[in-house]
Chains A and B, each alone.
Chain A
Amino acid sequence: MEKTLLDSGDTAWLLTSSAFVMLMTLPALALFYGGLARVKAILNVMGMSFAAYAITSVVWVVISFSLAFGDDIFGIIGDMKFFLLSGVKPDDIASGTKIPVFLYCAFQLTFAAITVALVSGSLIDRIKFSSWCVFVIIWGILVYAPIAHWVWGGGFLAKLGALDFAGGTVVHVNAGMAGLAGALALGRRKKQEILPNNVPFVITGAGLLWFGWFGFNAGSAVAASGLASSAFLSTNTATAVASISWMLTEWILRKKPTLVGLSSGAVSGLVAITPASGYVDVSGAILIGVLAGVIPFFAVAYLKPALKYDDALDVFGIHGVSGAIGAIMTGILANPHINSAGTGLIYGNPKQVITQIIATAVSASYSFIMSFVIFKTIDVIIGLRVKEDEEVEIDKVIHGESAYHLSESE
């Protein structure tokens, strides 16, 4: 460890950010996904986010933190330096930062947890809970940790110069492709046309995600700084623009502005600004917001029905597509006056777009292929899907519980 001194402002902010990002999984994502699902599946859907957070919390401190952020081996993976964080002391500072290693570990943990939790959205209504728990463990080690290492841990994509401020590729493209792989591995649900059982939960979840995302993006500055402040403002701007753009798109094409649409637009904007938040200015954020509000709407409303893949909660359509949009737009819009580490096409560096496309394509392919292999392997060993006649009452069948007992006679 370096002999850098701890900065209390940075540390205070990152402690706060870590809690904010934890909130994004629990309860924000649980509420967002839970509200979109059927009432007879809501416990299972929320349970997958809960389990993802709890299980990742353990696997991360045991091994995945080390694989992602240990000392680099050939640009591919980290070493076992941080296994169980044994030997690490509270005053040890994470290299390149002024915050403790323990805090950097905790902050990154929350990212690993939400990434895998996001994948559950494609799998709802038909994946076995036991298979999900096994998937969480294996995927964190074999997919999340390597990609995090390549982009953030000093691996080959970082060496290539790929820019990903808070996880456009590592989190969103990754989760989107893994979700798509899972949707294909599982096959379609018997009944795909479902209306959300609790739109107030969806709205609440989206609001809490927006709130927590300030920790996700502004916290990724790993400093209580001007850059964090810029990321905070870009995040809010892009998200607001995306909500409005999605709403207007829906209003024009479907005649009515739905609240699910407004909430989905917000999430889409949050995803798209994620890789760009610490590199673009307000104008860049506005442009990204417009793209994030419009393009994913078409992916969800037209592409999915046309190609017939059952990505139940649109993890690919929103996280995959918006993540890719944000990652590539970063290559175009990165403003060196905002962050000297990033110069995009419009500031005279056309190569950055190529680098971004490569990083996005590499993460997407690896995530899709490896996730598909993991899903199919689990299928062979313990089975992936619940029995067909159990799909209808999945909460009762898997968890032995009902979400509501509104009258005493039930």
Chain B
Amino acid sequence: MKKIEAIIKPFKLDDVKDALTSIGISGMTITEVRGFGRQKGHTELYRGAEYVVDFLPKIKIEIIVPDDMVDKVVKTIIESAKTGKVGDGKIFIYPIEEAIRIRTGEKGEDAI
């Protein structure tokens, strides 16, 4: 099992969620995060003064998938999250030692 963590632009969340559910992913966790990479920040105006805002809002999606789904999921996320402009985000893949369903005690792939 692998954990796939994707940092994406917030307005792309619905597209990514719809694309993932259409390939059979049945669950995910999202967090609202802030960060920057090459996109840097942006400026906002307040009473004639410009302020630089360094941290940009992003969405982090976390899903646990069986090993044989990893490539398909990564491809799906890239297709649905990409805009071609700087700031599209990143995907990280972690190995998962174990997964357990709290309600039933099921383990391994039965838990995801």
Contact = CB atoms under 8 A, between A and B. Distances in A.
Contact of A314 (B44, B47, B53): B47
B44 A301 contact: no
Interface residues of B, number: 9
Contacts of A297: 48
A196 interface: yes
B30 to A, nearest CB: 14
B51 A300 contact: no
A225 to B, nearest CB: 38
B81 to A, nearest CB: 26
B46 A254 contact: no
Contacts of A302: 48
A10 interface: no
A256 B46 contact: no
A408 interface: no
B48 A253 contact: yes
A254 B51 CA distance: 12
Nearest to B51: A193
A332 to B, nearest CB: 27
B48 A256 contact: no
Contacts of B45: 250, 254, 256, 258, 261
A195 interface: yes
Interface in B17-73: 44-51, 53
A300 to B, nearest CB: 5
A261 B47 CA distance: 6
Nearest to B52: A193
Dominant SS at the A interface? helix
A300 B48 contact: yes
Interface in A190-224: 193, 195-196
Contacts of B51: 193, 195
Contacts of A305: 49
B87 to A, nearest CB: 20
A120 interface: no
Contacts of B46: 195-196, 258, 260
Contact of B48 (A195, A196, A301): A301
Contacts of A301: 47-49
Residue of B44, B45, B50, B51 with most chain A CB atoms under a 10 A cut-off:
B45
A254 B44 CA distance: 11
Contacts of B47: 260-261, 264, 300-301, 314
Nearest to B47: A300
A35 B110 CA distance: 50
Residue of B47, B50, B51, B53 with most chain A CB atoms under a 10 A cut-off:
B47
A258 B46 CA distance: 8
Nearest to A261: B47
Interface string A262-278: 00100000000000000
A300 B47 CA distance: 7
Contacts of A261: 45, 47-48
Contacts of A250: 45, 48
Contacts of A195: 44, 46, 51, 53
A261 B49 CA distance: 11
Nearest to A264: B47
B49 to A, nearest CB: 6
Contacts of A193: 49, 51
A302 B48 CA distance: 8
Interface string A27-70: 00000000000000000000000000000000000000000000
A305 B47 CA distance: 11
A256 B49 CA distance: 12
A193 B41 CA distance: 15
A296 B45 CA distance: 17
B50 to A, nearest CB: 8
Nearest to A318: B47
A252 to B, nearest CB: 11
Interface string A158-197: 0000000000000000000000000000000000010110
Contacts of B50: 254
A261 B51 CA distance: 15
A195 B43 CA distance: 11
A258 B50 CA distance: 12
Nearest to B44: A195
A396 B109 CA distance: 46
Interface of B: 44-51, 53
14 contacts: A193-B51, A195-B44, A195-B46, A195-B53, A250-B48, A254-B45, A254-B48, A254-B50, A258-B45, A260-B47, A297-B48, A301-B47, A301-B48, A301-B49
Ordered nearest first, which 6 A-B pairs have the shortest CB separation?
A: A301-B48, A300-B47, A193-B51, A258-B45, A195-B46, A254-B45
